[in-house]
Structure 1
């Protein structure tokens, strides 16, 4: 992707009262295929998406039927998170801000039904969820609900991650110094295998910050239409110092990320893997983890192989590059 990519500007919501919500429309969950899929080789990991076109808004479910140990790293001033467990059978990412947390409950309902309502302690299906605020780019109150979460899980396929403007990233945007400069992004994914070691990173970029490539060029967000250029937010913020008429920060932002590896790591190292990778994402999203963002990264392991030759710091260094690839994929 190059800085000359065609702008994909998002029209700001008018936030009018009495707009249509879920109870006002005959909503039917739809498939949310995006522009394609990123294949990955992690047996036992399934990914599904679904959307309400009336939003548009959607959700993305990462399902590990065998369960996976999980570390959660949440940063920024506006986190929307449910569960946050250290072991999960599914992670549900959704639009709709706090109302979209209902989608994770739908995933739980579907998993319970699949186990024929078995509720012994060791039969419980654990689901964590996180949401982005995507109302800024649409004039309605439609949000992912339990029915949409169930549909996303039912659509799940092994070894394929849908990417583009789909799932939880259906109405995601980036580069919001002022919302009129925001551009649509979506969800992106990248997968790498280093011998027996495998790393999948998927991310929904809905950030205040712009997306930056490895050459330092801004590839999505903060687009100044008059000049036909994308600027680094630092340039705009510097010009606002001392100005009483400067625009207020744009609220309602979040980047959600899921990292799945097959490496068996102790709890402390699993947590540190997530922290290091989450911190590294500042290179691709600038600024990141702001008071107006609610960034969450779930790190999951299927506990299949031991790490040899490098320590967890080396694994995190490699995974950080995969995360940057996923960010750029979300901005395509």
Structure 2
């Protein structure tokens, strides 16, 4: 089902990248709750989600915590991937702003999980955390980034069954539609959940793309906003008009996605379903997986139900529709 998106512009003011802007050590930072505009409910027992932000950034992080652990497949695309871990089994996934510096948030999640296990470090006690980041400095005038303390705070805020959406968590200063950054709009993080018999699927995404967001009718609903006539145009029209001219700089983007299902899949099937879903997202974000993006999708399974009737291709098709809903949810 399509999601409604307000027509009001939400222009992202480009950063001047002035030297000497405040960084973490220059400010008395305190992690804050990052609730967004609401949340999407989901029913996957044992899966928790938490967010936290530094208002001084503004920037934040989002943690998906699976205490029992979950097999994981990773699909990373584009020319600017920022990721740590990338394990095939995880107890938590941490998405953060702050580009490469924001990878510290995932280290904070690891530290918190170690403390929760009374500092036990036997091989089978190790808690695996993978992280991925977006470049969100483009639309703010600080060098503040999600650090270990913010990662710990997001994990401590994690609750079961609710995924915060909007301009929150890792999507706090995310933006989309950057053919020219002067036409970019704030985006955010979104989520969608579906139940198909015994099969359950959650897809959530942080949209910080070069591309603009497209609805199911083919209309541009966020990004590439032309203030002179109040229109959002498909990036293809602008790129066609620029042929032969110097291309504008649109460095520093990325869309981060997590898919969690309860369906038992082999390692090969899990990876292929993840790839199928990631590929499908080009319908909702155009262009996608560019040289200036660092798109990453983590596909997790809790291995709870063995459904012979649900083939991987069918599951991927259903999850792909949820992924489109999640993209639209991110920019409402």
Which residue is equivalent to 1:159? 161
Correspondence 1:22-171 to 2 at 5 A: 22-171=24-173
Deviation, 1:2, is 5.4
- Alpha carbons of 1:95 and 1:4: their partners in 2 closer, same or farther (altered >3 Å)? closer
State the SS of the aligned residue for 1:294: coil
**Separation in structure 2 between the aligned mates of residue 307 and residue 6 of structure 1, nearest angstrom:** 44
Q: 1:181 aligns with which of 167, 183, 193?
A: 183
Q: Which runs of 5+ in 2 are unaligned?
A: none
TM-score calculated relative to the size of structure 1 = 0.98
**Separation in structure 2 between the aligned mates of residue 197 and residue 209 of structure 1, nearest angstrom:** 31
Q: 1:221 aligns with which of 202, 220, 223?
A: 223
**Separation in structure 2 between the aligned mates of residue 12 and residue 76 of structure 1, nearest angstrom:** 23
Contact 1:68 1:300 in 2 (8 A): yes
Q: Does 1:268 align with 2:268?
A: yes
Which residue is equivalent to 1:293? 293
- Alpha-carbon displacement from aligned partner over 1:107-161 (angstroms, at most 9, x marks no partner): 0000000000000000000000000000000001000000000000000000100
RMSD: 0.9
Which residue is equivalent to 1:205? 207
Contact 1:201 1:258 in 2 (8 A): yes
State the SS of the aligned residue for 2:111: helix
Which residue is equivalent to 1:313? 313
State the SS of the aligned residue for 2:77: strand
**Separation in structure 1 between the aligned mates of residue 310 and residue 40 of structure 2, nearest angstrom:** 27
Contact 1:173 1:205 in 2 (8 A): yes
Count of residue pairs the alignment pairs up? 330
Deviation, 1:307, is 2.2
| Aligned structure 1 segments of 4 or more residues deviating by more than 6 angstroms | none
Which residue is equivalent to 1:330? 330
**Separation in structure 1 between the aligned mates of residue 310 and residue 249 of structure 2, nearest angstrom:** 42
TM-score calculated relative to the size of structure 2 = 0.98
State the SS of the aligned residue for 1:150: helix
**Separation in structure 2 between the aligned mates of residue 2 and residue 297 of structure 1, nearest angstrom:** 24
